[in-house]
Amino acid sequence: MPNPDQKTLEIALPLPKILRDRTPSASTARVGGGSDDAPKRPAASHEADLLKADVLKRDHYRCQLHLPGCEGQATELDRVETGEYGGDGSSENLRAACKSCERTKGQAFRLLG
């Protein structure tokens, strides 16, 4: 049991965005005091958030693309093989990417396509 006379120091560190997004907010929490018939966040969206968190954690929040202008810290997901080439949304086909690299790759595909 902590000594009431002993002072403790608590430091609040900011959570990564992916974890902040997992906390309930007014738009995702149950409405009306938590009754069973209250609107809930769609399960598919929650599963996508969990998948994104797992992939980012697997890749240690580091961008795997390393394109020119790479920011280093990954906050987005990138498909290794796009859907039009047979790629799916499984974790094996996803990798962590920074916003800059994801935007650069998207622009390159739009120019080619």
pLDDT tens track for 26-35: 444 444 444 5
- How many domains does one find in the chain? 1
User: Is residue 19 included in any domain, yes or no?
Assistant: no
C-alpha closest to that of 73 among 18, 5, 10: 18
pLDDT band at 109 (very low <50, low <70, confident <90, very high): confident
* Per-residue pLDDT, 85: 85
User: Is residue 45 included in any domain, yes or no?
Assistant: yes
Residue 105 domain boundaries: 40-112
Three-state DSSP state, 28: coil
* pLDDT reading at 42 higher than 80: no
pLDDT tens track for 7-17: 555 555 555 55
Mean pLDDT (whole number) for 69-85: 93
CB atoms within 10 A of CB 29: 13
User: Is residue 50 included in any domain, yes or no?
Assistant: yes
> Within 13 Å of residue 64, how many CA atoms lie on the same side as its CB?
16
The Cα 89–Cα 110 span in angstroms is: 20
C-alpha closest to that of 18 among 76, 91, 59: 76
DSSP 39-82: ----HHHHHHHHHHHHHHHHTTTB-SS--TT--SB--EEEESS-
pTM of the model: 0.60
Residue 72 CB partners (closer than 8 Å, separation 6+)? 62, 63, 98
User: Is residue 73 included in any domain, yes or no?
Assistant: yes
Question: Which one has a higher pLDDT value, 13 or 79?
Answer: 79
Percent pLDDT > 70 in the chain is 61
User: Is residue 76 included in any domain, yes or no?
Assistant: yes
